[in-house]
Structure 1
Amino acid sequence: MDASSETRLMESTDGENQPMEMDISKVKAEIDEEIDTYYFESDHVALKGNADYHAMLRTIALLEAQRIQAISDLDRLYKCRDDALEDPIGFVDKLQRGEDLNLPKQQRIAELPMINWEKYTSTVDFTSLGIPKHLTRLKKQLVNGAASTENEQKPINANFQSFDGQSSLVRGRIKEEGKSATFNQLWSIEEQKRLEDLLITYPPEDVEAKRWQKIATAIGNRTPQQ
């Protein structure tokens, strides 16, 4: 191959590479544009064009990636600690020689975007929009009536309350005749300690209902559901 042929070949090769470089830069610009815009396909149209929403999603994505990296770094730290405990002299030698200990690098946590939340909050009173005015007066009457009713009520027990003359309310729930004596009652300190001991005595089983039944039988005054 003579010099002129080699020159023509180099010129043709350069001509072919130049458009390819332009295409790559164009694609990179499109990718960067897509990365800068964060939204979901199912989002409302108004959200897709909202810069604050995009910034918030971008920050959430960055923080999630940093969280995953932090978990990985923590595992690496545990491994380095185990290696140092296994061979402390070798670990000190590496420190003295300035060798790389393969420790995780410090992360720069993503900063929260500055969003003017006042744009998305309002102090306008919507209570009278699309609602007849007499309902507003009715609401006032209901509020005044509820206040007077509360003043007329007699003090009742915090745990038990009569209900239709047949049942009773135990801490807000209706107690039936078939319920246990400890229905909806708080656990005492002794019962909680007893339960913790029984959870160790009776380990998890394939059928957890059997385990709860054993624990309830051992406690004596509690049902498996409790």
Structure 2
Amino acid sequence: MDSFDARIDDNPTILQSKELHNYILKTSVYPREPAALKEIREATASHSHAFYATDPDVGQLIAMMLKLVNAKKTIEIGVFTGYSLLLTALNIPEDGKIIAVDPNREAYEIGAPIIEKAGVIKKIKFIESPGLPILDKLLEDKSNEGSFDFAFIDADKYNYWNYHQRIMKLVRVGGLLMYDNTLFGGAMIGPETQMVDVKRPHLHGIIEFNKAIATDDRVELCHIPSGDGVTICKRIR
């Protein structure tokens, strides 16, 4: 064991500390963050649920994944004010398309003017609705099966496995699915008694999703502690 390994064993939180996260943001993320994304991030900061927003370091990861699979047609379930949506729109081709689904139009309209000013609103079809009915409707048209290159899911956590089962039919073989908040603040390894009742269904949903996705042989899997935890799946069959 070298000295670095020893330090990690002595302090297992060192790689997940707030200080180190801020270091990553200031060193590697914010200097490369487009002005429009910074604007939407700052516009969201005063919202009472600002913590719903996609972490900028996760956003940087999304941008890389989009480019690695040459994504052109994508779907996003859970939009909030649109940070990840704008990021996706900036990183797909001019003729690319995004289906964006969220039941909260009011939150989306905080970011919509910034998205429009960035010149990418034409790529986006926003649908005000919960996610599952829209996915079921898309699957009624067989031409949608295997037609998407990329999916980002950041909605109600207790439905993550239900989303996965449907989106796996929509994303092509070789395409990517990304799920946000799959560490849920580390709550799955802490005392549940400290969690408010309204969050427990989300926690249980994440726990069950993490167990199920680990045994899904239709995907290659990577679960990383970036932001609040993100799970990346590549559909292989």
**Structure with the greater alpha carbon radius of gyration:** 1
**Which protein is richer in strand relative to its size?**
2
**Does TM-score exceed 0.5, indicating one fold?**
no
Q: Which has the higher contact order (CA 8 A, sep 6+)?
A: 2
TM-score by length of 1: 0.17
